[in-house]
Amino acid sequence: MAELVLKDGSKKQFADGISLAEAVKQLSNSLAKKVVVAKVNGEVTDLREAIVDGSTVDFLTFDAQEGKDTVRHTASHIMAQAIQHLYKGVKFAIGPSIENGFYYDMDTDHRFTQDDFAAIEAEMAKIVKENIPLTKELVSRDDAIQMFKEAGQDYKVELIQDLPADVQISLYRQGDFVDLCAGPHVASTGHVKAFKLMTVAGAYWRGDEHNKMLQRIYGTAFEKKSDLDAYIHMMEEAEKRDHRKLGKQLDLFSFHEEGPGFPFFHPKGMLLRKALLKFWYELHDEADYDEISTPTILNRQLWEQSGHWDHYRDNMYFTTIDNEPYAIKPMNCPGGILVYKSNVHSYRDFPMRMAELGLVHRHELHGALHGLFRVRCFTQDDAHIFMLPSQMKKEITGVINLFDKAYKVFGLEYHVELSTRPDDSMGSDEIWDLATNTLREVVEERGIPYVVNEGDGAFYGPKLDFHVKDSIGRTWQCGTIQLDMLMPERFDMTYVGEDGQKHRPVMVHRTCFGSVERFLGILIENYAGAFPVWLAPVQIKLLPISEKHLAFAKELRLKLKKQGIRVEVDESNEKIGYKIRKAQMEKVPYMGVIGDKEMESNTISIRDRSKGDLGAKTLDEVIAHIKDLTATRKG
């Protein structure tokens, strides 16, 4: 008999050698119908694999990300099989699952377009309906090479040739389609209930621009059609909200060939940015942070000392000054450390909270650039907190409280991930264990649900990542809290303790928005460009009905501007209906129509972008209303 330890800690006995699929059936037939993959001793494992005595096993359904990945990986094989049926001579490269779906890279003379998707999906539906079993086979490396050579699958041959000579090659077969694959997969094609092909794009073989450009078809799959429909609706909404389109439509920012990946903010974009940063400053003043500013370019020796030269060099830009190598900063922390080291500190100085809106530069591949979401320079809303070891929990709790307050203003819900030690980390096991357990204890004591993201910490310490959910259900990684006991050691940071001796402080790196530019992109999409009054670049737009009303509108504009209201006047000769429609397209919260009646009564006819006509208001009423919404940030 073999014993398995289940997720709840209970232990169950099973006959030696049975598969994980058979084991879950013995536990519960209803559970077995839902389970698609298992996690054995922390490793995702195909249900076809035999149980191993003493293993800890968690049986996963589609609700788990690993379950989604398994179903979608199988969907990629189904798509490839359908394409094999419809288009002769296709050479298949790789077809993995990805975060929200799957793709397959192919080499073929046929140029795929979305017009081909209906036929491919119809053939996929036939394969699903046939409920073809997927079987796993292990063959020798030489046999696998021969098999794929005979099939004309050059890319598979190349992949196999990169593997060691003595390794057994894992294949998955479904009917007339066989693929080089480590799995895992569901039991049969019938388990892929709902799927859709999304887009087609180009992709270099193995991501190398010197290799051949292949065709990549993206798709997604869900357990239920209703979930697929909801996802498609979300994607359609996302398309409407694309911050790159809205950024151009609302005249917020632009990108230019002279600086790929470097955003140019226009006047309205700067007004939006200033409104966001005003909120940022208020948050940090309330939380007792001091602001600093550090240089953009610092010498190589500093980056070697910080560890970035060894661990982050591929993402950095370099220059030479006075024949000495320098780097443009990709992060603000080494500069903050130098500010700390510029003075001698006592234990009485702690905690020290240093905030910095620092412009950083990181080298991103051209193909990875994506509007404000992936740029080559951005403003990191950074802060570094230096503290006594006894202050760690209190300070981390304070940072979480600040994040919570910030995200609630935007109506953004969030979840937390604890990212643990990566493979390229620095430091001892003891330091990492202490730092990781401290972060874990803080979120648990505060009652915040979290998931563990194994191996995704920074090279100098574990971190808490805050993923916010926008108005259409997408999640974005924004805030992060990194607990660091290694940089203080590398930089020989000290303070004088109560005992008169030198000690090491603890350091926290944290960002709330993450990147000001990226967070603005998130807000643009979250609000679909219709920003709340306090954040809107233009809070009210004055619309004179004719030329004779223009001078009065300009007078009102000056009075509003003196009161801190962000206001514009439409000076065009267009009819009032056109001006209203134009302001609606610009998503201005309020429009002020000005004609003879308004001039006589010294009022403004106010229109709300969503509620329509609100009637005539005095200038003082308009100012008070907009000021109140701006101060409270409730509209």
Supply the residues annotated as catalytic. Answer: 333, 362, 380, 382, 384, 463, 509
What 3 state SS string does 231-265 have?
A: HHHHHHHHHHHCHHHHHHHCCCEECCCCCCCCCEE
Q: Is the peptide bond before 537 cis (omega within 30 degrees of 0)?
A: no
Give me the amino acid identity at 409: V
Residue 430 burial (C-beta neighbours within 10 Å; 0-12, 13-18, 19+): exposed
520 within 8 A of 275, measured Cβ to Cβ:
no
Residue 138 burial (C-beta neighbours within 10 Å; 0-12, 13-18, 19+): exposed
- Alpha-carbon distances of 306 from 132, 302, 405, rounded to whole Å: 55, 6, 32
Question: Tokens for 205?
Answer: 């073989």
Q: What are phi and psi of 384, to 5 degrees?
A: -125, 125
Q: What is the dihedral of CA 219, 220, 225, 231, to 10 degrees?
A: -110
467 within 8 A of 477, measured Cβ to Cβ:
yes
* Ramachandran assignment for 532, one of left (phi > 0), alpha (psi -120 to 50 degrees), beta (any other): beta
Question: Tokens for 486?
Answer: 């290694």
With a CB cutoff of 8 Å and minimum separation 6, the contacts of 24 are 31, 32, 35, 38, 47, 59
Residue 229 CB neighbours (<10 A): 13
Query: In this structure, what DSSP letter does residue 168 have?
Result: P
Strand ordering across the sheet containing 317-321: 297-299, 324-328, 317-321
Question: Tokens for 169?
Answer: 């090659």
321 within 8 A of 297, measured Cβ to Cβ:
yes
The DSSP code sequence of 292-338 is: ----SEEEHHHHHHHTHHHHSGGG-EEEEETTEEEEE-S-SHHHHHH
Give me the amino acid identity at 284: H
